[in-house]
Structure 1
Amino acid sequence: MSAPVHGAGGSDTNKPGRRILVGRVVGAFGVRGEVKLESWTEPRSAIFGYRPWILRDARGNERELMGVRGRQVGKGLSAEIPGVEDRDAAEAMRGTEVYVDRSALPRPAEGEFYWIDLEGLEVVNVEGVALGRVSHLFATGANDVLVARDGDRERMIPFVRPQYVTAIDFDAGRITVDWDPDF
């Protein structure tokens, strides 16, 4: 999921109807209908605090769901989903994506924001050269990376403040970076 990262300011991107992919069913757990769950929230178990869930299956069918219960199991998560009562039904859910409305996420603390709020912002370098728009961010362990896409071209810019990411202006919809446009 889009984890909070330190930044300047916050954004008002709690737009109604905007959905955030927070996890996915990766298989069955046990014989009583529990599912194994992959979560992109931080911490992973926070996925159980967001409600309602919108489940989207491989065909694109969606349903809203309340009443999910879950727990940490070893290094993973398991969940009890209402109406899923045996292993076959749980296994049939493999690949089902779990979404929540953006408005279900807590407001970021002052000076923090969610990665999802950066997606779509214009990226320009300190000289004003347009480098594209934020496609997504990912973690590498050493530092996070911002991916700016301009047509078929992708630029991977270390999300290191203030060395490479010098400013984030949500009102203008722009991120300024200290980055060579030819790189």
Structure 2
Amino acid sequence: MPKGSLLGQEKEQTIRGLLASLAKPAPGEALIDLAYIAGAFGVKGWVRISPFSADADALHEVREWFIAPPQGAHARGVPWLTSHLHVRVQQLKSQSDGLVAKFEGVDDRDVAHALRGATIALPRSAFPALPEGEFYWVDLIGLEVRNRQGIRLGQVEKLFSNGPQSVLVVQGAVQGKPKEHLIPFVGVYVDTVDLSDRQITVDWQPDY
């Protein structure tokens, strides 16, 4: 038990047993981290979820998630969550600051709190198909970026949202010096995205 915990031994054993029943090895393919559990929501086992990126929209269409042990900046949950869990989502709702979800078998606040800080992930194969011309961020990371003149600008390191649009963070070099390009991922600047060739063509100059 962590110091300062108000859970009794019986409650602790109940939580341990529930988490053990949900434990499942991670799938063979890599899991994509989409969000983390920020804490309990209400008293009936709901959890608050904070997305990492726009890719978390996939969670709305998939009802079986993997939950990974807490790590990094969010590793503040109860320490006995040490293996992947496989959960079924009974209900999922959007809120202004993220999502709230109810998992099958998680029915009280203490159990929900035990998941605080854990990462929610899906295998890439579970992501629902997108309409033509739309892309998941995870598929854009690592792609080479060239402009209309064929000049290599760099490689997509990550993306972020500035509110109305996504922005490509492209790491490259100009005259031998490191150069970061922040390119809005909108049609005005992005001409084509070729996932098979792993290349993005943009209307952008090296000195922008």
TM superposition score category, shorter chain reference: 0.7 to 0.9
Determine if contact 1:41/1:47 at 8 Å carries over to the other structure.
Answer: no
Which position in structure 1 is the counterpart of 2:116? Answer: 94
> How many residues get paired?
166
Q: Structure 1 residue 142: deviation in Å?
A: 4.0
Determine if contact 2:46/2:112 at 8 Å carries over to the other structure.
Answer: yes
Determine if contact 2:71/2:118 at 8 Å carries over to the other structure.
Answer: no
Quote the RMSD (CA, aligned, Å): 2.9
Unpaired segments of 5 or more residues in structure 2? 1-27, 73-81
Which position in structure 2 is the counterpart of 1:5? Answer: none
Which position in structure 1 is the counterpart of 2:67? Answer: 55
Question: What CA distance in whole angstroms lies between the structure 2 residues aligned with 1:51 and 1:72?
Answer: 13
The answer on 1:136 being equivalent to 2:161 is no
Which position in structure 2 is the counterpart of 1:168? Answer: 193
Alignment of 1:8-27 (within 5 A): 17-27=29-39
Q: Structure 1 residue 83: deviation in Å?
A: 5.0
Q: Structure 1 residue 30: deviation in Å?
A: 1.8
- The residue identity in structure 1 corresponding to 2:59 is I
Question: What CA distance in whole angstroms lies between the structure 1 residues aligned with 2:163 and 2:36?
Answer: 22
- The residue identity in structure 1 corresponding to 2:205 is D
Q: Normalising by structure 1, what TM-score?
A: 0.74
The answer on 1:32 being equivalent to 2:44 is yes
Give the structure with the higher percent helix.
2
Question: What CA distance in whole angstroms lies between the structure 1 residues aligned with 2:64 and 2:92?
Answer: 17
Determine if contact 1:27/1:36 at 8 Å carries over to the other structure.
Answer: yes
Which position in structure 2 is the counterpart of 1:109? Answer: 131
SS where residue 88 of structure 2 aligns?
Answer: coil
Q: Structure 1 residue 104: deviation in Å?
A: 0.9
The answer on 1:180 being equivalent to 2:192 is no
Structure whose alpha-carbon radius of gyration is higher:
2
Q: Normalising by structure 2, what TM-score?
A: 0.66
Determine if contact 1:21/1:99 at 8 Å carries over to the other structure.
Answer: yes
The answer on 1:154 being equivalent to 2:180 is yes
Unpaired segments of 5 or more residues in structure 1? 1-15
Q: Structure 1 residue 48: deviation in Å?
A: 4.8
Give the structure with the higher percent strand.
1
Q: Which is worse superposed, 76-85 or 134-143?
A: 76-85
